Amino acid sequence: MLNLAVSALLLTPGIPLEEVVVTARRREERLVDVAASVSRLTPGDLGRIDYSHHAEGLNKIPGVILQRGSGQESLLAIRSPVLTGAGACGAFLFLEDGFSLRPTGFCNVNELFETNTAQAAAIEVMRGPGSVVHGANAVHGVINILTPIAIDLEGLRVTALAGVDAFRSVGLAVGDGRSAAQGLFRRDGGFRDDSTVSELKLNLLHDRELAGGQLRWRITTTRLNQDTAGFIRGLDSYRNVTLRRSNPNPEAFRDADSLRMSTTWSRSECSNCYDEARLILRRSSMAFLQHFLLGKPLEKNSQTSAAVGLARSRTLASTSWSWRAGFDAEWADTSLLEIQDGPTIEGSAAARAIRPAGRHYDYTVDVASVGANASLEHRSEAWLWRGSVRADYIEYSYDNLMRNGNTAEDGASCPGGCLYSRPADRNDSFSRITARTEVVRHLSPTQHFYAVLAEGFRPPEITELYRLQRNQSVADLDAERMRSAELGWRFAFGNLVVYRAQKGNVILRDANGFNVIGGRTSHEGIEYELSWQALPWLSADAGGTFARHRYDFSRAIEGGETITAGRDIDTAPRHTHRVALTVQPYPLAKVTLDAREVGAYFADAANTRRHPAQTVLGLRSHWKVSAQLSLNLEVENLADRLLADRADFAQGDWRYFPARRRSAYVGIDWRSR
């Protein structure tokens, strides 16, 4: 077991105090002036943030747990348990260059595969609420994928990677200093039966000066074709060397496409003078077989959306006070179809009878939202004070394209009522005011304290409101909200953070199968990031968290489970730690050995079943052969342990996504300049 006693060491790619981050306020600012926990991942010597999955980079950050599913699927925790269900994705905000990947109400827990993390310039993770700046869904945290600037891609760059299970990846980047293009093709044969994944990602970039400011054009498109492997079942089945490679759902698949076109114009004429105008057009579509449901219905969903934003900040004349104001608006046209080809053949006779063939849901929802924020800031040599407030209004216009109620598609009834229930056409709206107060105390150039009180919120997801079950005809839901307090200390070799948060109006599915509000949860923890240069050729980094995530209410829920106040939320490890040792025997070669431990966690709401702690070792090496050519080697699960990426207990049995055994990847990186 890793121990904090090894601690005068840090996390992941640590952030020097003078580094600039952008996610906390949607603009560049020095880390020492940020009253928030922001961690930044960069490609570094290896030339890319991840090789095969975005979990490789994000799991280095304290407070973050990304459990891999099959292929490019994942479930996320940021200062939270690993969340599941229709609204799980709504607790986190996923951005690319500050733009949300999806419109409000239409997120997907897997949507990070719609970004090019491998070729990103950086990934920033802000832990804790960020709604006062970013609006809805920035409840537990924000992940922002930052694309390169065009000048950094000047010349030609080629990367290639090969590894176990017929893994292949080729990346290209070319640019002339003002315009650039980068693309990635990746294919993974999968270590389980029928689990091949192919991905294509393309970024087009153009940067230029305009009207005294900087104009950035970005186009991002992605395509995913995935043969999906389902859970394996049975206690400790992930330890069975044969069963862990099997796929109980060889028919499962996921196909997804995305396209985003954005432009940002910004101008900064003085230290606290800033103007910005933003526009993004988005389109995405996805089809996947819901192999985890009886009847295995097919879901198809899509969205077309646009968002605009304006922001301005100024210093009040001859004072140490400044202000900022911003406005955002968004429109989206979304749709969802769920259809089952044939009769349900799994489960009991009663379960089969309420799941008829044909369409289960077929609807469209138009989304419109507006938001405005304002902040006032005071700076002195030793202090920074900032108060911010934001108002948001969101409206859904739902149009059911089928019969209302819980009948079969043709209107036939089921014994006791069909499972799937379709509300009548309706409009729903949600409004929320959020606030944030920040204080930063500069004690010295290398020591800074900060404190922050913040709020976050998310409206119900579209699927929570209109994809109902059994006899529920209307879901009377309100926005989830969270209030958080945080104290942080940044010092020369790392940082330490203490936080506590309370979340209310939590949406859940009760014992009747109804989507309801009324849940409450608490979240508290300590996070650390430390770094130590032991010798000129030896450095160490460490980071981790101690946390408790608990229910603050009692209730019977779907699946026969009972939530009891004070118990741990399922899939909420009480600690995670990572230690990395880097040896650089001479300037052109570097080897990093890291160990990551995820603590034990309960796999059910009743806290009767527990998945044990797991520790995994990894190795990365980099050798710069010449000024243009580098060689890389990565080995995952170096000790070749039988591990599970995810474990839970549901439907009366243990379910696992087994993790890969020892896996090696060899790559080359060549650039013309």
Q: Are strands 29-30 and 20-21 parallel, antiparallel or unpaired?
A: antiparallel
Closest CA relative to residue 136, chosen from 487, 395, 311, 323? 395
CA-based torsion, 58, 59, 62, 67: positive or negative: positive
Closest CA relative to residue 66, chosen from 53, 55, 79, 57? 55
Residue 45 backbone phi and psi in degrees, to 5: -65, -30
CA-based torsion, 601, 495, 581, 76: positive or negative: positive
Which string of b and e fits 36-45 if b means at least 16 CB within 10 Å? bbbbbbebeb
Give CA–CA dist 616/596, Å, rounded: 5
Residue 642 backbone phi and psi in degrees, to 5: -85, 105
Closest CA relative to residue 605, chosen from 644, 555, 641, 646? 555
Instruction: Output Rg (C-alpha) for the chain, integer angstroms.
Output: 25
Give CA–CA dist 309/164, Å, rounded: 45
For residue 86, give every residue at least 6 positions away whose Cβ sits within 8 Å of its Cβ, in sequence order, or none. Answer: 461, 463, 464, 467
Residue 224 backbone phi and psi in degrees, to 5: -130, 130
What is the CA 176 to chain-centroid distance, rounded?
33
Q: Which residues of the chain have pLDDT under 50?
A: 1-15
Name the strand (E) or helix (H) holding 385.
strand 383-400
Give CA–CA dist 170/200, Å, rounded: 10
Q: What is the CB neighbour count within 10 angstroms for residue 487?
A: 14
CA-based torsion, 457, 461, 462, 465: positive or negative: negative
Instruction: Give residue 107's identity as a one-letter amino acid code.
Output: C
Instruction: Retrieve residue 415's tokens.
Output: 């014994």
Under DSSP, the state recorded for 72 is T
Instruction: Give residue 415's identity as a one-letter amino acid code.
Output: P
Name the strand (E) or helix (H) holding 229.
none
Alpha helices in 55-199 (DSSP H): 55-58, 131-134
Q: pLDDT tens across 61-76, in order? A: 999 999 999 999 999 9
Confirm if 63 and 527 have CB atoms less than 8 A apart: yes
Report the SS3 class of residue 351.
helix
Which string of b and e fits 436-469 if b means at least 16 CB within 10 Å? bbbbbebeeeeebebebbbbbbbbbbbbbbbbbb
Q: Scan for tokens 């862990």, then name that residue.
A: 244
Give the pLDDT of residue 16.
55
Structure-derived torsion over alpha carbons of residues 87, 93, 95, 98, reported in degrees to the nearest 10: 140
Q: What is the CB neighbour count within 10 angstroms for residue 209?
A: 10
Question: What ranges make up the beta strands (E) of 474-628?
Answer: 480-491, 494-509, 515-535, 538-551, 555-556, 562-563, 575-586, 589-598, 601-602, 610-611, 614-624
Give CA–CA dist 160/664, Å, rounded: 14
Instruction: Retrieve residue 328's tokens.
Output: 């955002």
State the CATH architecture for 4-671. Beta Barrel (2.40)
- Domain boundaries, given as residue ranges, for the chain: 4-671
Give CA–CA dist 528/543, Å, rounded: 5
Report the SS3 class of residue 134.
helix
Q: What is the CB neighbour count within 10 angstroms for residue 527?
A: 26
Closest CA relative to residue 92, chosen from 456, 431, 451, 485? 456
Confirm if 220 and 203 have CB atoms less than 8 A apart: yes
pTM: 0.95
Instruction: Count CA within 13 A, CB hemisphere, residue 383.
Output: 8
Cα distances (angstroms) measured from residue 64 to each of 12, 30, 147: 12, 23, 21
Instruction: Retrieve residue 279's tokens.
Output: 């526009």
